[in-house]
Structure formats: C-alpha cells, structure tokens
Structure 1
Amino acid sequence: LQLRSTRPLGVAHDFIIEAMLVGLAFMIEQLLESLPEGLEIHRRGPAPAWLAALREDVGVPVRFDQSEDALVFPLSALEARPRLADPQVAAIAREQCEMEFRQWRTEEEGVMAERIRTALQDHAAPLPSLEGMADRLAVSARTLKRHLQQAGLSYRQLQDEERYRQACRLLAKAEKSISEVAYHLGYNDVANFSKAFKRWSGLTPKGYREQHSRV
C-alpha cells in the first residue's frame, strides 16, 4: 500500500507520512487482533535518530532508504477475516464510504476550479497555459484537466472567464483604446479580440463601452 502526496506538505511531510503508515499498522492489528506475519513499513530517505524508539513502539520492521513510502504485507492478509466481522454492517459501511467518496470528489473538483480562478485573477496577462497553471498548483496537467472535466469545465473556459472579467474592467477606462486592451490581454490582433469579446458578451468591445458609458 503506497502513500504518495499530491500536494506539497513542507516540513511536515515526513511526520504525516510516518503517522499514516504507523496508524494503518495499528488499525490492521485492531482488525485482526494481531499483526500479520511479513508486515513491514517502508520509508524513503535515511533512518532518523529516533529509529530505535519507532521500531519498539510500532512492533513491526521499519526499513529506510526504500523506493516508496509504503505498508508492505503478504497477499494472504487480504483474505484474513476481521474480528467481529458482520456482512450486513460491512455492506452499510461500504455504501457509506462510497457516498462519502463521491461527495469528496465533487467538493475536490469544485475546490480545484476555484483555486484555478483565484490563481488566474492573481496572474498578470497573458494568462498561463494549462501546463503553466498545473506547475503553479503543484499538480500534473493531466490531473488538473481531469478534475475540470469531472466538474463539467475546461481550462479554456476558465481562461475566457478571466479574460472577459479583465476586458470589462479595462474597457471601463475611457483612456485605454480597444487595441491597448486587446494587446494587454495577449491578443496580437484586435479583430480576434473583438470576435472573442462578442462571443463572451454578445457585444463588440466598442458596443460594450458605449452601452456602459451611458449607464
């Protein structure tokens, strides 16, 4: 069972990973009443100064300088029957876990979209590419794209949303020409900017400016 962090954990990384692996080992012991033979904790990096205390407290071998942070156990442990096993309770628990997971995924997808919106608002034009945004949020471009797809969005949509917001703000400044607004937003061609703005708002930049100047 490998543990991988999808977000930077900073100075707390080693503590969190170690706490999770030790916690899982204790959970297995509680479920099975004893630790299965062959259970090991694998950690990346060198052994810490408190290794002796760790091994004594955990009661299972802890190996360092490994390729992954992981809890390693024999396949036979998967067939072990937990104490107090109850098929009906297990079915209810499984249903509850699946419901919680679906809710978490929905919330996570919404959180990712809001993180991108905030990052775009904080970024000066021109806006970053999908790959650039993924680097900024410390995720892979593939992961970022998948989260947005599951939320029914695309990165292009969020980019256009932010460009439209910035365009409206800049067009409200009478001293800025439409070509200056277009160039500021990363358009080399004013015609392309006008076409995009009309797609967003139903108005040309000139029409939008005239309409709002009368308000």
Structure 2
Amino acid sequence: MTLASRLAQGVEALGQPLSDDQQRRLLAYIDLLVKWNQAYNLTAVRDPAEMVTRHLLDSLAVLPHVSAMDTLDVGTGAGIPGIILAVARPDQRFVLLDANGKKTRFVRQARRELGLDNVEVVHARVEQYRNAPPQIICRAFASLSDMLALMTPIIGDTSRVLAMKAASTDQELAALPAGWQGEYHALSVPGLDEPRTLVVVNKI
C-alpha cells in the first residue's frame, strides 16, 4: 500500500475529511521528516508507513476534541501533533514549543516548506514561556500530576489541557491535584493495535 493510500484510508476511517492539498502537505511532512531523521534522530519511528500511522493518524484522531482556539503544543519535538493539527485546521493558530534546538530548526523548516502561516515556532523551555494560551496540547511526557506541575506557569484559569497518552488513565485522573478535574476519551487510530487515550483537564 502506498503512503498516500494509507493516509487516505486512515482519514476516511477517522471521519476527519481532509482535502487533497492537506493530504499532500501531510505526506510532504513525512518526506521531510524521513530526510532529516537520518541525520538528526528526530523520531524513533524509522519506517515511513509507520510514521503515517503513529504520527499523522495518531494526531488526527484527537481532532474532534480540539476546540477551535489558539493552541500551544508543549514539547512538540518534530512538530507532533502541532504540525499535523495545523495542516488540518488552517484557520486556527498553533504555537509549537520545544527546548531542543535541532528539533525546532526542523519544525521551522517544515513550517516554511508546507506554507503554514498559522504556525509559530518557539525554542524555549516551558518555564520560560510566559503566555497563558486558552488551549494546551502535548504528547504526555510524564504523569498528569507532574505534567500539570511543570506547566502551572502557563495554565490560565480557563485553559484546557489536552494530554495524548498511550493507555488508560483512571489512576492518574484519580490522583489529580486539588482544584483540577479531567475526563478521558479512548481513541481508535486506524492501523494501530495499541491503546490511545486523550485526557482533557481544566481547573475547577
């Protein structure tokens, strides 16, 4: 199966319609990621077909839960999920934040080559970023409690925090600090026989 067919079938299965141009941009992103990955080790996923599943479709699966508001992608790495979401939502602004210089260089290059005027790339640590965006998303890099503690300076009273996690999070939700509430959504990623969960957290 070609990468284009894998993406098209996955998009159809998700029920998230994307134009031919949007799908072309996503495949161009994969091409760029494969090329840069050879020198800069941006992602542990090496196979382009796996990249379509584990990066593109995995990110697109959260779209129904992403509100149409300015969004900060914390620890974006190679631009995941921020770049993918920005392609899917061209009218929505995304700020992609990461402390790793080689990764933000790649993301800036991807932004230019894909023509994503709705993306801003910031090379900084979370604690150095002073804005409080209405919506924050990340591929969870720690427990929910630890992640919220790290991001406290940038979480406003009305901010939504979306954490993409690999498994059920009942215990983590039960251990949320006082003053927080959350809910989780089980996600189904086409072609991926592994659990995926999105946790949405906000202040009470």
Note whether the superposition's TM-score is higher than 0.5.
no
Higher alpha-carbon Rg? 1
Instruction: Give me the TM-score of the superposition, normalised by structure 1.
Output: 0.23
RCO comparison, higher one (Cα < 8 Å, 6+) = 2
When you count helix as a share of all residues, which structure comes out higher? Answer: 1
Instruction: Give me the TM-score of the superposition, normalised by structure 2.
Output: 0.24
